[in-house]
Structure 1
Amino acid sequence: MMTVLIYHICRRDEWASAEKTGSYAGSSQDLADGFIHFSTASQVRASAAKHRVAQTDLMLLSVDPDALSDALKWEPTRGGQLFPHLYGDLPLSAVRRVDPLELDTDGVHQFPEHVPED
């Protein structure tokens, strides 16, 4: 059975720093909130549209949730949807794929084909 991945969007420089240090503690917003924000495939496009409007130089991390242990919690947001939150650093070994998240001419993020739409 194939593992269903979860997704995190970060700035290119944040990911470059993580690759150098071997650890990713999250974005400044993640650090302020006390956890790293993730989304499912059905949530990630709306998350990008809401929280990363017209931002460039972004990377999409595809992450294996089974590699994150009990530090990963599924928690409801104000709208009642469950989102995955990681309480701790993201081990780079859990990252299965990293892709640039480009904008189209209308300023909409273009997700890689491997990310299902639902």
Structure 2
Amino acid sequence: MELYYHLLRQPIELKAKHTFRPDSLLNEGFIHLSLSRQLEWVANTFLADVVCLWVMELDPGQLVDNVKFEDGGAGEQFPHLYGPIPHEAVMRQMPMGRDAAGAWRTPPQHAIPISGSFKELPQ
């Protein structure tokens, strides 16, 4: 099962048995998630002017009942979480970086963690 990712302006501290409820859950009824291949597009399209950006890596097995893939525009299906993020689902949080042109890139530069190692993504 492919991992899910949520973009943050700063890392958050999740304590045992707590959940994370971003503003979008209250305002829109769901939490915006991405697949690894969607992260850079989302960051550069919607958060290009943000100074600091973090990626929360989520275990899909902890979210399976509340995730729906829905059209996010241009025919692309994005995962939306209809409920809070439980602390058990958060695998780690990583800062995103910018390339020489100022575009957001996945951490570390152009890579997403795969099974404890890093796999280069095509550019």
TM-score (norm 1): 0.80
SS of the residue corresponding to residue 38 of structure 2 reads helix
CA distance, structure 2, for counterparts of residue 29 and residue 106 of structure 1: 30
Q: What is residue 25 of structure 1 aligned with on the other side?
A: 21
Question: For the aligned residues, what is the CA RMSD?
Answer: 2.2
Q: Give the superposition deviation at 1:97.
A: 1.8
List runs of 5+ in structure 1 lacking aligned partners. Answer: none
Question: Which of 57, 64, 72 is matched with 2:59 structurally?
Answer: 64
Q: What is residue 88 of structure 1 aligned with on the other side?
A: 83
CA distance, structure 1, for counterparts of residue 102 and residue 90 of structure 2: 27
Question: In the alignment, is the contact (CA less than 8 A) between 1:9 and 1:58 conserved in 2?
Answer: yes
Select the structure that is richer in helix: 1
Question: Which of 5, 8, 12 is matched with 2:6 structurally?
Answer: 8
CA distance, structure 2, for counterparts of residue 31 and residue 66 of structure 1: 23
Q: What is residue 55 of structure 1 aligned with on the other side?
A: 50
CA distance, structure 1, for counterparts of residue 32 and residue 51 of structure 2: 19
Q: Percent identity?
A: 31
TM-score (norm 2): 0.77
Question: In the alignment, is the contact (CA less than 8 A) between 2:25 and 2:83 conserved in 1?
Answer: no
Deviating above 4 A after TM superposition, structure 1's stretches of 4 or more consecutive aligned residues are none
Question: In the alignment, is the contact (CA less than 8 A) between 2:4 and 2:34 conserved in 1?
Answer: yes
Question: Which of 24, 30, 33 is matched with 1:35 structurally?
Answer: 30
